[in-house]
């Protein structure tokens, strides 16, 4: 729309300029009344226009007032010849008509120049000669015999002219004669003594092929003048400009005499000048355009002044008229308007147009061309080399406001006086070209694995060097069930849940396609980049302990802490997660147990109220929670059933063969034989090693028997080994004490042990795990 409005504005300016210039038309002298000379078309939609003929120079009634009619929304004006029109190129060959067109408040005026052209095929005698009254001439009686009295203007060559009327004496002193050039000559006897006589001559002009005309010529003979005619001024040279309109005054000649009249003797016919018969004013009769008529530069005129009553009393004056060239018309250029469209990739030096301008006042003269910028001002994108308009710099549409139009004009100067110029409007539209492909920088987005659907992960920011820079559409080639990218904003969103344990990284290819960056709407460029989506681990799996249920039997003794068991927990879905926190949340009523990391420890007991005298069972609930940086912290509970069997100790008197045994706590060896126990392979290895150590320790104990009872060996780390080693050490280190122990305590201790015997096996219906049970107490042990 911007281009269309600009073109309309420029066209309106051009049309306005054309209406201000004159129109030239040529019409043949053979054209008669009603002939259409010129048609005009006007556009006036909001008012009723008018077209007027202001005046005609020289004055005549040959032209009708212009008509104005409406046809298909356009007003058409016409100029026609009137019913009295009798065009004669020999009499007047140029008319100047001034026209005015009015449309509301808009008024335009302009001249219409009508040149009357000779028509060799049109036969027409001079108007006065061919009129019914004929031509009347006056000659003095002193005219010389055979002198030229009158010249008949003929429309063509080769005509036969004759006098058809009678010239009988005595009225006629002799016959008048006329030659082929139309010269009427006096009788050979002269006209002396014929004053006051009137001779009527009927003249026939025959052009052949049946074409002829006739007219009347009346010759009045005047008496000899009583005074002498003379010009007041001498011969002179007159200089006039060529821009004088027809009818302009050139010079006025004055002669001394009575009732003087003036006429031009040479050249005959005079095409450029005429003289007032009474006032002697020499005027122009046609345009003096040297470009069209170079012979009008110099004209030598011979003017005759004579008395009206005595035409033979006359005088002649010669003078020269020089026509000086005047710079009237501005240069005319082709094209008069340049509107073009080029892509922004047009190479430097590309020719947009070559202007051809001429000067009507001086064809072939050198013209000066200048390039003027209007918008943007001072632009260097275009240049003018002589008459050639070229691309001067790289056109760029990739910056805001750059890819619009370049409005300029070509100013053409002719160098005349006064200086005349023509301005050719130039409008160059630069269209965008999709030169660059969009691109984006690979990015990494981090997202928690518990992010919900439609969660915003981040935005892909594409860049395109073409303007406008944000005309990019985003898509995922082939689609994705997990992720989606917004077509316009490039936002990447989540469609379905993520699982850190299944896939930690997702690589997504995003396709970028540009649009609206080329004159051709179907021209697109595309690019792509890879987006890495890193899934952040979220603690969504609770630890699992193996086994989740433990049942142990522990034999305790005073003054010693011992390891009960180790809680083994892990997260199967996240093997790398190894940090856990442990706490006893139930069953530790006497605070007899504590945790050292994952190890359940029976605290050091002393003889007191809390010392269990009978076997006791504790059902401990151990809470295991992950202790890593991930949130939230999930936990599970492991169940450990501990059957605590206390050791018995007593003070007895030794036999007569031994000293009193110092009262001390000696461990009681309890062997629990289970029919369904199957040792692990590693336990066999440990048992073998332990047996070897036991033999070594037995030998050492026998060697140390003379020096006293040694301290019990250090307890190993594992509970099973501790029980076994303690049992062996108790057997070897306190044989005598054991043998001397009262027999009545042994059945009670054995009954407590037998109460822990498992005599049945079953499978848990919920978990499917096998376990052993005691039919008397209902105690269970998981396998």
> For the residues of 466-534, what is the DSSP string, one character each?
SSSTT-EEEE-TT--SSEEE-TTT-EEEE-S---TTT-SEEEEEEEEEE-S-SSSTT---EEEEEEEEE
Decide if 492 is inside a domain: yes
Decide if 737 is inside a domain: no
658 Cβ contact partners less than 8 Å away, ≥ 6 residues apart = 736
Query: 560 and 517, same structural domain?
Result: no
**Domain total of the chain:** 6
pLDDT tens column, 447-468: 988 888 888 889 998 888 887 8
Query: 399 and 367, same structural domain?
Result: yes
Distance between the two ends of the chain, CA-based, in angstroms?
A: 90
Nearest to 536 by CA among 499, 568, 573: 499
Decide if 751 is inside a domain: no
Decide if 428 is inside a domain: no
Query: 212 and 142, same structural domain?
Result: yes
Query: 286 and 208, same structural domain?
Result: no
Strands annotated E in 286-395? 298-307, 314-324, 332-334, 338-343, 351-354, 356-358, 368-375, 382-385, 388-391
pLDDT tens column, 384-431: 888 899 988 877 777 776 666 788 999 999 887 778 899 999 998 888
Decide if 749 is inside a domain: no
Q: What is the pLDDT of residue 777?
A: 73
Q: What is the pLDDT of residue 612?
A: 58
The residue out of 613, 646, 679 marking a domain boundary is 646
Q: What is the pLDDT of residue 725?
A: 34
The residue out of 174, 193, 222 marking a domain boundary is 222
Query: 111 and 22, same structural domain?
Result: yes
Query: 117 and 142, same structural domain?
Result: no
Instruction: Put the strands of the sheet holding 562-566 in their side by side order.
Output: 562-566, 599-602, 593-596
Query: 118 and 36, same structural domain?
Result: yes
Q: What is the pLDDT of residue 721?
A: 38
Q: What is the pLDDT of residue 748?
A: 43
Decide if 505 is inside a domain: yes
Query: 149 and 83, same structural domain?
Result: no
Nearest to 203 by CA among 189, 217, 221: 217
The residue out of 646, 672, 704 marking a domain boundary is 646
Neighbour tally for 407: CB within 10 Å = 19
Task: Say if strands 549-556 and 544-545 run parallel, antiparallel, or are unpaired.
Answer: unpaired
Phi and psi at 404, nearest 5°, equal -125, -125
Classified as helix, coil or strand, 683 is helix
Quickly list DSSP for 625-682: EE-SSSSSPPEEEEEEEEEEEEPP-------TTSPPPPP---PPP-----TT----HH
Query: 267 and 181, same structural domain?
Result: no
Torsion-angle region of 45 (φ positive above 0: left; ψ -120 to 50: alpha; else: beta) = alpha
Q: What is the pLDDT of residue 219?
A: 92
Q: Kindly tell me the burial class for residue 539, based on how many C-beta atoms sit within 10 Å of its own C-beta (0-12, 13-18, 19 or more).
A: buried
Question: What whole-number distance in Å separates Cα of residue 717 and Cα of residue 720?
Answer: 9
Nearest to 567 by CA among 587, 590, 549, 555: 549
Q: What is the pLDDT of residue 87?
A: 84
**What is the domain extent for residue 594?**
544-646
CATH (domain of 624) = 2.60.40.60
Report yes or no: 37 and 27 within 8 Å, Cβ to Cβ: yes
Q: What is the pLDDT of residue 121?
A: 67
Classified as helix, coil or strand, 13 is helix
Mean pLDDT by 10 residues, the chain (783 residues): 36 37 78 85 82 90 88 85 82 89 87 86 68 82 88 75 89 90 90 88 82 85 76 86 88 89 91 92 88 85 88 86 85 91 88 90 84 77 88 78 78 85 91 87 89 88 83 90 90 89 89 85 89 84 86 78 86 78 86 86 63 77 79 82 72 32 34 54 86 88 71 41 36 34 38 55 75 74 77
Query: 337 and 290, same structural domain?
Result: no
The b-or-e profile of 305-344 (16+ CB within 10 A means b, else e) is bbbebbbbbbbebebebebebbbbbbbebeebebbeeebb
Question: What whole-number distance in Å separates Cα of residue 610 and Cα of residue 604?
Answer: 11
Q: What is the pLDDT of residue 80?
A: 93
Decide if 670 is inside a domain: no
Query: 584 and 519, same structural domain?
Result: no
Decide if 584 is inside a domain: yes
């Amino acid at each position: 729309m911007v281009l269309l409005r600009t073109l309309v504005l420029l066209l309106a300016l051009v049309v306005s300029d054309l209406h201000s210039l004159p129109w030239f038309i040529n019409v043949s002298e053979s054209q008669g009344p009603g002939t259409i000379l010129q048609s005009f078309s006007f556009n006036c939609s909001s008012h009723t226009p008018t077209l007027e003929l202001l005046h005609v120079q020289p004055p005549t009634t040959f032209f009708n007032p212009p008509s104005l009619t409406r046809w298909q929304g356009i007003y058409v004006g016409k100029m026609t010849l009137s019913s009295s029109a009798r065009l004669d190129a020999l009499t007047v060959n140029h008319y100047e008509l001034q026209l005015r067109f009015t449309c509301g408040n808009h008024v335009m005026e302009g001249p219409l120049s009508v040149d009357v052209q000779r028509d060799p095929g049109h036969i027409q005698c001079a108007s006065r000669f061919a009129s019914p009254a004929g031509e009347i001439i006056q000659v003095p009686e002193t005219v010389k015999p055979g002198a030229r009295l009158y010249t008949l203007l003929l429309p063509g060559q080769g005509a036969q002219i004759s006098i058809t009327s009678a010239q009988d004496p005595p009225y006629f002193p002799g016959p008048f004669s006329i030659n082929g050039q139309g010269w009427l000559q006096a009788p050979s006897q002269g006209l002396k003594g014929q004053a006051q006589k009137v001779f009527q001559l009927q003249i026939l002009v025959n052009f052949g092929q049946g074409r002829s005309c006739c007219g009347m010529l009346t010759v009045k003979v005047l008496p000899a003048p009583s005074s002498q005619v003379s010009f007041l001024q001498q011969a002179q040279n007159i200089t006039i400009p060529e821009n004088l309109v027809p009818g302009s005054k050139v010079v006025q000649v004055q002669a001394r005499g009575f009732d003087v009249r003036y006429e031009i003797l040479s050249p005959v016919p005079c095409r450029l000048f005429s003289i007032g018969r009474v006032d002697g004013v020499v005027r122009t009769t046609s345009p003096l355009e040297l470009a069209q008529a170079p012979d009008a530069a110099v004209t030598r005129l011979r003017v005759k002044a004579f008395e009206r009553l005595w035409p033979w009393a006359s005088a002649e004056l010669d003078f020269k008229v020089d026509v000086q060239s005047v710079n009237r018309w501005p240069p005319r250029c082709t094209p008069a308007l340049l509107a073009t469209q080029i892509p922004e990739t047009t190479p430097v030096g590309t020719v947009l147009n070559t202007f051809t301008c001429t000067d009507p006042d001086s064809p072939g003269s050198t013209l000066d061309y200048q390039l003027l910028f209007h918008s943007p001002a001072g632009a260097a994108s275009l240049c003018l080399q002589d008459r050639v308009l070229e691309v001067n710099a790289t056109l760029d549409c990739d910056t805001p406001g750059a890819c619009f139009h370049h409005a300029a004009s070509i100013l053409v100067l002719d160098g005349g006086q006064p200086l005349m110029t023509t301005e050719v409007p130039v409008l160059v539209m630069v269209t965008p070209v999709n030169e660059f492909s969009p691109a984006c920088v690979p990015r990494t987005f981090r997202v928690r694995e518990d992010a919900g659907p439609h969660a915003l992960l981040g935005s892909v920011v594409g860049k395109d060097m073409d303007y406008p820079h944000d005309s990019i559409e985003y898509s995922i080639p082939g689609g994705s069930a997990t992720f989606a990218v917004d077509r316009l904003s490039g936002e990447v969103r989540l469609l379905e849940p993520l699982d850190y344990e299944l896939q930690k990284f997702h690589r997504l290819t995003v396709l970028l396609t540009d649009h609206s960056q080329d004159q051709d709407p179907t021209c697109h460029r595309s690019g792509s980049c890879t987006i890495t989506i890193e899934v952040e681990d979220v603690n969504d799996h609770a630890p699992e302990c193996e086994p989740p249920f433990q049942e142990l039997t522990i034999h305790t003794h005073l003054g010693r802490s011992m390891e009960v068991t180790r809680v083994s927990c892990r997260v199967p879905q996240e093997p790398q997660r190894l940090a856990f926190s442990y706490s006893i949340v139930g069953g530790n009523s006497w605070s007899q147990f504590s945790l050292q990391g994952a190890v359940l420890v029976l605290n050091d007991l002393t003889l007191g109220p809390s010392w269990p005298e009978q076997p006791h069972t504790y059902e401990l609930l151990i809470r295991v929670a992950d202790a890593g940086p991930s949130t939230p912290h999930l936990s599970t509970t492991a169940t450990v059933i501990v059957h605590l069997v206390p050791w018995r100790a007593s003070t007895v008197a030794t036999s007569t063969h031994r000293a009193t045994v110092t009262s001390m706590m000696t461990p009681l060896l309890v062997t629990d034989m289970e029919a369904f126990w199957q040792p692990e392979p590693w336990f066999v290895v440990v048992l073998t090693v332990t047996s070897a150590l036991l033999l070594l320790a037995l030998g050492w104990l026998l060697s140390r028997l003379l020096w006293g009872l040694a301290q019990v060996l250090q307890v190993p780390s594992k509970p099973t080994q501790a029980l076994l080693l303690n049992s062996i050490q108790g057997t070897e280190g306190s044989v005598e004490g054991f043998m001397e122990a009262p027999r009545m305590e042994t059945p009670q201790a054995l009954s407590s042990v037998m109460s822990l015997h498992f005599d049945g096996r079953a499978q848990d219906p919920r978990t499917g795990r096998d376990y052993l049970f005691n039919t008397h107490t209902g105690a269970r042990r998981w396998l």
